[in-house]
Amino acid sequence: MFLKNETSGGVINVVLASFLWGTTGTVASLTPDVSPLATGAFSVGFGGLLLLINARKSLVHDLKKLIYQSKLLFLGGLSVAIYPLAFYTSMKWSGVAIGTVISIASAPFFTVVLERLISKKNVSLQWGVSFIFGALGVLLLTLGKQRDMSFVMEVTTQYWGIVLGLIAGLTYATYSWAAKQLIDNGISSKSSMASMFGISAIFLLPSLFVTGDNLFATTTNSVLALYMAIVPMFLGYLLFGLGLRHIAASKATLITLLEPVVATLLAIVIVGESFNFNGWLGLFFITLCLMFQMIKLPKISKPSPSA
């Protein structure tokens, strides 16, 4: 009934990565004087450098394969660089609820489109049902958190926030799909993640000269900035890469719908945010989504023709 060991191990790695990523919102809220763009640029950029250092031996071993896959590698690296900038700006312009739903819930959809159109993989009924549960769960979860309905923003700005949310979902899907393609082409998960995030660091770290005010202004800011780079980014993407060795990118991005669940629960316990019935219902649907991904449905055998 349950998935075989390698597949379940991949699922567990992605679940653990989602837990680590779920801490980023609460940690960022503890440094309100730091721009979210700076937080995203430093955590992903410096985390990328750590991934490069950690994977230096495997990068040398996989160098020829990486050069051969240079177009795919650059696409993945550029997507990694765009994602945090689009995601954080989307939440700022369209509101936390809308930005989160559009960005996180659209990523599995974009991933399965890439797998279907480019990788020619079929979309299973199991994935479709899980996606419906998961997307509905994320929507209810964010509505459950959004108690303050006084959020006011110009309509045009909100629309651009929604567009950026879709871009965030697309870029997240793209670098997840690209990493899976690199791994399937014989490149280690360490090299795949490190090379893409290393490319993103080239774009992201220089942006700190513009956005990085107060990033290291206090001891608290410095410690939390390093935490974001080392734990959710470095360790999180090590685990995510290991997960992609055994499961499809569309399955992995679907499982990461767990991230807003962790973020919400931490916001309740640490930040003191409220959580209404919609939120608990959303948590239930996301749990169903994850349970659907942990079981192996029996194949329906076609009846043999009668003699």
Gap between the Cα atoms of 148 and 44, Å rounded: 30
Confidence of residue 96 (pLDDT cuts 50, 70, 90): low
Confidence of residue 176 (pLDDT cuts 50, 70, 90): very high
HEC readout, 118-136: CCCCCCCHHHHHHHHHHHH
Which residue carries 């900038």 as its tokens?
85
For residue 299, is pLDDT > 90? no
Domain borders along the chain are 5-294
- pLDDT of 149: 46
Structure tokens at 154: 């110009």
Contact call for residues 292 and 133 (beta carbons, < 8 A): yes
Gap between the Cα atoms of 47 and 230, Å rounded: 6
Per DSSP, 295 falls in state B
Contact call for residues 215 and 34 (beta carbons, < 8 A): yes
For residue 102, is pLDDT > 90? no
Tens digits of residue pLDDT in 127-152: 888 888 888 888 887 777 655 444 55
Per-residue pLDDT averaged across 191-219, rounded? 93
DSSP string, 43-87: HHHHHHHHHHHHTHHHHHHTHHHHHHTHHHHHHHHHHHHHHHHHH
For residue 194, is pLDDT > 60? yes
Closest CA to 23 of 296, 238, 236, 190: 236
Confidence of residue 126 (pLDDT cuts 50, 70, 90): confident
Cα atoms in the 13 Å half-sphere on the side-chain side of 82: 19
Tell me the three state secondary structure of residue 2: strand
For residue 210, is pLDDT > 60? yes
- pLDDT of 41: 92
Closest CA to 14 of 288, 252, 259, 287: 252
Gap between the Cα atoms of 155 and 191, Å rounded: 43
